[in-house]
Amino acid sequence: MLGGEICLWISERFAFDLPILLGMSTTYRFADLVEQGHDEYSIRTQVRSGELSSVRHGGYALDLDPDSPEARHRALIRTTVPLLNDDAVLSHCSAALLWGLPVPRRLLTKVHVTYDRPGGGHVRTWTHTHSSALPSLAIAEVEGLRITSLARTAVDTARLCSNQEALQIVDAAWRMLDTPTDLAAACEMAGRRHGIRAARWALAHADPRSESPGESLSRYWMIMGKIPTPTLQLEILDPGGNFVARADFAWEEYRVLGEFDGRIKYASSLNGQPLAEVVMREKERENRLRALGWWVYRWTWDDLRHGQRFAADLRRFLDESPFRRTR
């Protein structure tokens, strides 16, 4: 784990501003199954056979991916919400999952809910209840469920996280909101609540041009390693004005482009294309960039698992760039 590894890093779906929908598996409560003619014995038999998955006491899911904590948490939400009071609002990591924000997997064991009350939060087997002021602007609806607003969700979840996790969350939220105004307001409203330092640090260093959790994590280690601030998503054109590439990171003084490669390499195809063709196009693209006087540095998730070493290697590459502009 990368100091609290973000749950959906391998996929780059967080580059897209789409909420994650809950309808990936069908959920049932025990009473629902009884109404359909099942008894306790048949339910247990289906759970043992793997046809049904038990996600909580009295809550079950059909076609649940056993390797996906995210899918299990969605099912947990669906089977828990009917048991909550009407004024419950899904919040923190549960709301973050619905908004499509990256969430640390370690936070997905309980459904987080907030009530508009002065106090009385508690932790139980399947729920983590928070008490806090919830003005109407801090509440939204996704998939028919009452959840905290995107900005409030991002700040509340960031407060549960390390700085590196919080940066990924706030980067993604800012990208979806287009402006940091609501995030700043949510930080202000949180006052001195526990964990607010991580949320404020993340907002101070956030950049909506980071298009994936991996790019955000890369920036975190660059910040920690005091790497010169790169230009993000720089478009490279040839002398004729034709588009050549768009780089994740660019250090123009050093004539270095940085590319975070978060795609899964160990497959026979990528997005339906033979992997060999994808690799060949990447090599051709890199050759064109070198011909234009750019040096390309690439890294992967494995490199980010050793963030300090990654930053040191990147610094060395910048200093040794053959295309570096000298003053």
Q: Element (H or E) spanning 168, and its range?
A: helix 163-177
Residue 11 sits at the vertex; the CA angle it makes with 140 and 26, to the nearest 5 degrees, is 55
Residue 29 structure tokens: 């409560």
Please give the share of the chain, as a percent, with pLDDT higher than 70.
88
The pLDDT tens digits of the residues spanning 114-151 come to 999 988 789 999 999 999 999 999 999 998 999 999 99
pLDDT band at 174 (very low <50, low <70, confident <90, very high): very high
pTM of the model: 0.84
Mean pLDDT of the chain: 87
Question: What's residue 271's pLDDT?
Answer: 59
The residue extents of the domains of the chain are: 13-24+65-208, 225-319
Rounded-to-integer distance, Cα 121 and Cα 135, Å = 18
Rounded-to-integer distance, Cα 14 and Cα 214, Å = 10
Q: What is the CATH number of domain 225-319?
A: 3.40.960.10
**Helices 92-99 and 150-158, packing angle to 10 deg:** 130
Q: Return all residues near 158 (Cβ < 8 A) that are at least 6 apart.
A: 165, 166, 169, 170, 195, 198, 199, 202
Q: Does position 105 have pLDDT exceeding 90, yes or no? A: yes
Question: What's residue 266's pLDDT?
Answer: 43
Closest Cα partner for 253 from 228, 278, 225? 228
Rounded-to-integer distance, Cα 181 and Cα 187, Å = 10
- Sequential DSSP letters for 50-115: TSEEEEETTEEEES--TT-HHHHHHHHHHHHGGGS-TT-EE-HHHHHHHHT---BGGGTTSEEEEE
Q: Element (H or E) spanning 157, and its range?
A: helix 150-158
pLDDT band at 213 (very low <50, low <70, confident <90, very high): very high
Residue 52 structure tokens: 């049904």
User: Strand 243-251 to strand 273-274: parallel, antiparallel, or no bridges (unpaired)?
Assistant: unpaired
Q: Does position 21 have pLDDT exceeding 80, yes or no? A: no
The pLDDT tens digits of the residues spanning 51-81 come to 878 787 778 788 888 889 999 999 999 999 9
